[in-house]
């Protein structure tokens, strides 16, 4: 397999994952889950620790959640964060 076909496969897998995630988030249960995921991963509810190990763990969680946001929003996950925070305030 050449590099172009590997890149194409990777892009197709990424597109399929995005489609899967969008389908999950089209349900109210999916949105509730994603809201909790973002909060627990400290995206919509940041936390700070004096303990360096806990700080690294929090940053790892945050990066995982941000990878999903980046997949959904491509270059600007802040739009999705703003939408979720606004929905939380309206509840």
Poorest-confidence range of 15-19, 53-57, 65-69, 86-90?
A: 86-90
What's the DSSP call for residue 70? H
Residue 55 has pLDDT above 80, yes or no: yes
Residue 7 has pLDDT above 80, yes or no: no
Residue 19 has pLDDT above 70, yes or no: yes
Q: How many residues does the chain have?
A: 91
Residue 30 has pLDDT above 90, yes or no: yes
Residue 74: which region, alpha, beta or left (left: phi > 0; alpha: psi -120 to 50)?
A: left
- If one compares 25 and 70, the residue with the highest pLDDT of the two is 25
pTM beyond 0.95: the answer is no
């Amino acid at each position: 397999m050449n590099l172009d076909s590997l890149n194409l496969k990777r892009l197709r897998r990424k597109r399929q994952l995005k489609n899967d995630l969008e389908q999950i988030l089209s349900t109210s249960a999916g949105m509730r889950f994603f809201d909790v995921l973002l909060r627990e991963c400290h995206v919509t509810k940041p936390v700070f620790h004096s303990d360096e190990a806990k700080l690294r763990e929090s940053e790892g969680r945050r990066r995982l959640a941000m990878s999903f946001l980046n997949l959904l929003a491509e270059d600007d996950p802040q739009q999705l964060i703003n939408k979720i925070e606004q929905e939380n305030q309206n509840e």
